[in-house]
Amino acid sequence: MYNQPLEPAPTKESQYGVDPATVTMRGAELENMTSVPLGELIPDLPGVIYPSDKGLAAVRAETEAALESVDMSMITEGKTVNILASHHGFTFLGGFPYAEMLRTIKDVVSVRTQAKQVRLRAGLGMRFRETEEYIKTHGLDEYFEGKAIGIAPIDAGIPIETELGTLYGLKKAYDADFIIHAHNSDVREVHFHRQVDRAVKPFGMSYARCETRSTYHMNMGPRAANFVARAIFESPFVQEKFAFAAFMIMSPAGAITVDADNDLYAINDRTTVGGMKHYGKIISLFGAIDECIVILDFPCPVPYVFASGVIYANMVGANIDLFDLDNPLPPYTWYTETFYNEHGKPLIPEIPPVNPAIKAVVHNYAWIGYPAVFFAEHTPTIVVGAAQAELFNRDPMNLNYMKHALLADNLKAAMEFAYRTTGTDKVMIFDGASGGLNVSRSLADHLLKVAPEVNRRVGEDLMPKWLVQRDIDPGLLQQVA
């Protein structure tokens, strides 16, 4: 007996996506689609506070409880405070739990410290107006009394003297007496941070100028760039302003709790263990898929579309162990075009291919604003609808996307072509459905069959290895929710 598909994340009005009215059918509406609850695939996933019957009230209660043990005495009456946020927090679960955590931090800090101003500074990547959209969607501009703004990597910078020399943060991020680092624990960019200094990474990305954040994208690459963020955070300039951090702790099923601490590295250890514990199994399960057609159907750029809390970019690299630091080369996703020549061939034989289990991609709904040509070059891609094709043709970062993709009038036509050309009826839908995966019935059968062995292997073989590689006490496994 198969389940009904879960409700996909709704489409959104945005300058980075097509008019939602043009998305006339979602992948979950196709024939032979079903859903698999995450609890059936990974029985030991923890419970979630959101989504739940208590709604956002649970998020507020968890945030208030987490902040009770945080020292705020350094923030005295009349001081100014910047709550530093990142755009990624707004992309899961509609952004509602993250926005509520930010509101609660403001309320608690205002009452406990009598600060003159508690402001919101929300960083982002290459879509320079994205956080402005989120701020308005969630009414944060009004909640923060006009003191909530998006900060982009091209905004005015401020020099920060570090052990590596002068690096550059964003001036508006640091234009307060104190800063609060408000982030989330999901592992979406595990191909960058490799669950090393995950909690510190935004200091080299969301809060940094483009010249500094490019160390991840263009210069040092994954792992090597991690110490840039650490150098910025440990600089005297930042340390004098840093008050505490508050993290929304995520799992593939939703928000688990809120963690807050004056010691960012304590949160970092818990986040590292939690990320491997909660996401290691689902990403390893993705790696156990032998073949499938992927449907992109979520309001984010191509690499960032979600399924069970995991982004498509992770699926692209799931043919190797994303958490294993012994891998001689990092996983390869959209930022790694530099590892391929002008003909799309690997520069050296050791570079692993894009996940060969992905036989075709049907691009039903995804945004512009991040380079995605690499994906279309390496996996047969079918784009649904002329409006979406034209959107990508106008995007400076994706001018060649449609040169490597076919255009279909509608989703059904795209899927019929994909079925015929790939020879598989296994389908995985990245549509942000909450609490489970929307997949075809054949892929549901496959996932349920291989899940027990994946769970055993991660728990008994891989998790101990990952912990040893990071010099983390295995005892933290029991302490992390």
Six token digits for residue 212: 């500094």
Q: What is the pLDDT of residue 331?
A: 46
Same domain, 237 and 286: no
DSSP letter for each residue of 327-344: -SS----GGGGGGB-TTS
Six token digits for residue 358: 């992905």
Q: What is the pLDDT of residue 341?
A: 72
The number of folded domains in the chain is 2
Is 13 part of a structural domain of the chain? no
Beta bridge partners of 383: 363, 407
**What is the number of other CB atoms lying within 10 angstroms of the CB of residue 2?**
13
Q: Which of 202, 230, 204, 223 lies closest to 330 in space, CA to CA?
A: 223
Beta bridge partners of 294: 361, 428
Q: What is the pLDDT of residue 409?
A: 97
Is 265 part of a structural domain of the chain? no
Q: What is the pLDDT of residue 327?
A: 74
H-assigned helices in 379-440 = 386-393, 411-422
Instruction: Give me the amino acid identity at 50.
Output: Y
Same domain, 289 and 177: no
- Write out the residue range of the structural domain in which residue 296 sits: 20-45+280-458
Same domain, 108 and 24: no
Report the CATH number that the domain containing residue 230 is assigned in CATH: 3.40.50.11440
The H-or-E segment that residue 170 falls in is strand 165-170
Is 103 part of a structural domain of the chain? yes
Q: Are 474 and 46 in contact (CB under 8 A)?
A: no
Same domain, 319 and 237: no
* Chain centroid offset of residue 203 CA: 16
Same domain, 80 and 170: yes
DSSP 51: S
DSSP 50: B
Whole-structure pTM value: 0.94
The H-or-E segment that residue 440 falls in is strand 436-440
Is 477 part of a structural domain of the chain? no
481 residues of the chain, pLDDT tens digit each: 799 999 999 999 999 999 999 999 999 999 999 999 999 999 999 999 999 999 999 999 999 999 999 999 999 999 999 999 999 999 989 999 999 999 999 999 999 999 989 999 999 988 888 999 999 999 999 999 999 999 999 999 999 999 999 999 999 999 999 999 999 998 887 777 778 888 999 999 999 999 998 877 666 655 667 889 999 999 999 999 999 999 999 999 999 999 999 999 999 999 999 999 989 999 999 999 999 999 999 999 999 999 999 999 999 989 989 899 887 655 444 345 566 677 777 777 777 788 999 999 999 999 999 989 989 998 999 999 999 999 999 999 999 999 999 999 999 999 999 999 999 999 999 999 999 999 999 999 999 999 999 999 999 999 999 999 988 888 888 777 6
Is 478 part of a structural domain of the chain? no
Classified as helix, coil or strand, 204 is helix
Same domain, 102 and 246: yes
Same domain, 346 and 423: yes
Is 369 part of a structural domain of the chain? yes
Is 422 part of a structural domain of the chain? yes
Task: Map tokens 């964003």 to a residue.
Answer: 170
Same domain, 60 and 164: yes
Is 464 part of a structural domain of the chain? no
CA distance linking residue 429 with residue 4, whole number of Å? 14
Same domain, 346 and 444: yes
Contacts of 187 (CB under 8 A, 6+ apart): 195, 198, 275, 279, 283, 310, 314
Q: What is the pLDDT of residue 52?
A: 94
Same domain, 222 and 296: no
Query: How would you write 74-107 as a 3-class SS string?
Result: CCCCCCEEEEEEEHHHHCCHHHHHHHHHHHHHHH
Q: What is the pLDDT of residue 199?
A: 93
Same domain, 315 and 172: no
Q: Are 334 and 372 in contact (CB under 8 A)?
A: yes
Instruction: Output the CA torsion sign for 321, 322, 328, 331.
Output: positive
Same domain, 169 and 299: no
CA distance linking residue 93 with residue 101, whole number of Å? 13
What does residue 148 show for φ and ψ, rounded to 5 degrees?
-120, 120
Torsion of CA 268, 456, 430, 394, to 10 degrees: 60
Classified as helix, coil or strand, 138 is coil
CA distance linking residue 260 with residue 246, whole number of Å? 4
